[in-house]
Amino acid sequence: MNPGLNPSVAHNPGSHAFQPEVPWELPREKLIFKKKIGEGSFGEVWRAKVDGILGRRGKEIVAVKLLKDYYTPEEKRCLMKELRVMQTLQPHPNIISLLGCCSVTEPLCIVMEYAANGNLQDVLRKQRYTFLQNDLSNLEKRPKINLTARDLTIFTLHVSSGMQYISSRDLLHRDLAARNVLLDKDLVCKISDFGSARDIVEMREYETSANQKLPLRWMAPESLLSCIYSSHSDVWSFGVFLWEVVTLGSSPYPGMTSEQVMDFVQKGCRMAKPTHCSQSLYTLMTDCWHHFPPSRPSFATIHDRLTTLLEEEGDNMFVDQMSDNAYNILLNQSREKC
């Protein structure tokens, strides 16, 4: 196991003492932008340096999320919503930390902790070449870190801990996927991207925009069919996230179009067990995909079951048995996030 990759990093929500309110506003001139490291449909993420943030001495590297040059009022509203959600969260080892913001003048910026190893989807896809012993002559494909099957299970434990905390705050993430999990320098998973998050009490007022790209492959049937979201629908997404980890970053429902995925899920069909996945781990996936939302396990139960799997069963993914072409279809559908 990699140094610092420790299942104990995943904490229980109740272990965090109350933190006094932090003065989030940051003088814009303190930010020194270095390099763009990510881009979405309307936002960008930059690596930057900042001096004396939160009263700390010296310069440190941070990530800054901001709108693109041309944005709509709705896109600005979404970024402001993400900022407000992050301001309500107390520090947690498996959630990306808010460090500050520039919200008084344009452009709006959210300043967050920097995750040196990027998003988990990219890490998994690069790791595929190590596990499958493919040609590593391409330096861009060669992973910077080498992971074991146990490490991958620990990643899922980290994310279950972060989601347990989020659900305890009566928040819904609504876009849980490997692309929205970041990996810091110590290989600790941190949930990010709260642009789609909602408070449970306001979900009755939520309507999906016809032009909004949706994470269809990660959505529960009640969300696809009736736009109903709950902590149970986040649990469904976690089951798809487990499948992503097991298949080293493959796109869920390989070979299907977005329309076929919707029809497949609504008919009660589920993705088959990957041949290299243990039955215990696959059972947890399918429990997350129960058609009746209240029958899905809570995140506290998921965390406990993953802890037991890690302690009692050892490896839950036999990656040496994974076929090199079983899950290599990575789709980019125009109507969905991928």
- Calculate mean pLDDT across residues 248-268: 93
39 is in an annotated binding site: yes
Q: Would the pLDDT of 213 be above 90?
A: no
pLDDT digits (tens, 9 = 90+) for 81-129: 899 999 999 999 999 999 999 988 888 899 999 999 999 999 998 888 7
Q: For residue 336, what pLDDT is reported?
A: 57
Name the least confident of 17-26, 91-100, 205-214, 290-299. Answer: 205-214
The answer to whether 323 is annotated as binding is no
The pLDDT of residue 220 is above 70:
yes
Q: What is the DSSP letter of 144?
A: S
**How does residue 155 score in pLDDT terms, banded at 50, 70 and 90?**
very high
For CA atoms 242, 277, 146, 37, give the dihedral sign.
Answer: negative
Structure-token match 């819904």, residue found = 172
Ligand-binding site membership of 40 (annotated): yes
Structural domains of the chain in order of their starting residue, each with its CATH number: 18-113 (3.30.200.20), 120-321 (1.10.510.10)
In 3D space, the residue among 99, 85, 94, 100 whose CA is nearest the CA of residue 120 turns out to be 94
Q: How many whole angstroms separate alpha carbon 239 and alpha carbon 98?
A: 27
**Confidence tier at 269 by pLDDT (50, 70, 90):** very high
**Rounded (10°) angle between helices 299-308 and 231-246:** 30
CB atoms within 10 A of CB 182: 25
DSSP codes joined into one string, 208-238: --TTS-B-GGG--HHHHHH----HHHHHHHH
Q: Which of 48-62, 267-281, 318-332 has the highest mean pLDDT?
A: 267-281
**More confident of the two residues 206 and 222:** 222
Which residues, other chains included, contact 146 with Cβ-Cβ below 8 Å and sequence gap of 6+?
2, 127, 130
Beta bridge partners of residue 43, listed in sequence order: 67
- At residue 98's C-alpha, the angle toward residues 100 and 162, to 5°, is 175
Reported as a pLDDT band with limits 50, 70 and 90, residue 134 is: low
12 carries a ligand binding annotation = no
**Rounded to whole angstroms, how far apart are CA atoms 81 and 195?**
7
Inform me whether the pLDDT recorded for 314 exceeds 80. no
Surface-to-core class of residue 15, CB atoms within 10 Å of its CB (0-12 exposed, 13-18 middle, 19+ buried): exposed
Provide the pLDDT for residue 140.
Answer: 55
| Most confident of the following: 27-36, 40-49, 58-67, 90-99 | 90-99
Q: What is the DSSP letter of 126?
A: H
The model carries a pTM of 0.87
Bridge partners of 108, per DSSP, are none
| Helix (H), strand (E) counts: the chain | 8, 9
Kindly write down the DSSP assignment for every residue of 275-332, as one continuous string: TTB-HHHHHHHHHHT-SSGGGSPPHHHHHHHHHHIIIII--SB-GGG--TTTT-----
Q: Which helix (H) or strand (E) holds 188?
A: none
Residue 72 scores a pLDDT above 90: no
What burial letters (b/e) apply to 63-90, b meaning 16+ CB within 10 Å? bbbbbeeebeeebeebbebbbebbeebe
Type of residue at 41: S
**Per-chain mean pLDDT for the chain:** 83
Would you say residue 299 has pLDDT above 70? yes
Query: Which is the catalytic residue, given 175, 199, 234, 287?
Result: 175
Q: Is the pLDDT of residue 151 over 80?
A: yes
Q: Is 44 annotated as a binding residue?
A: yes
The per-residue pLDDT for 312 is 81
Quick one: pLDDT at residue 208? 46
Once rounded to an integer, what is the mean pLDDT over residues 227-233?
A: 93
204 labelled as ligand-binding? no
Average pLDDT over residues 308-324: 74
Model pLDDT, residue 206: 42
Sorted by sequence, the CB contacts under 8 Å of residue 144 that are 6+ apart come out as: 117, 126
Is the pLDDT score of 52 beyond 70?
yes
Q: Is 170 a catalytic residue?
A: no
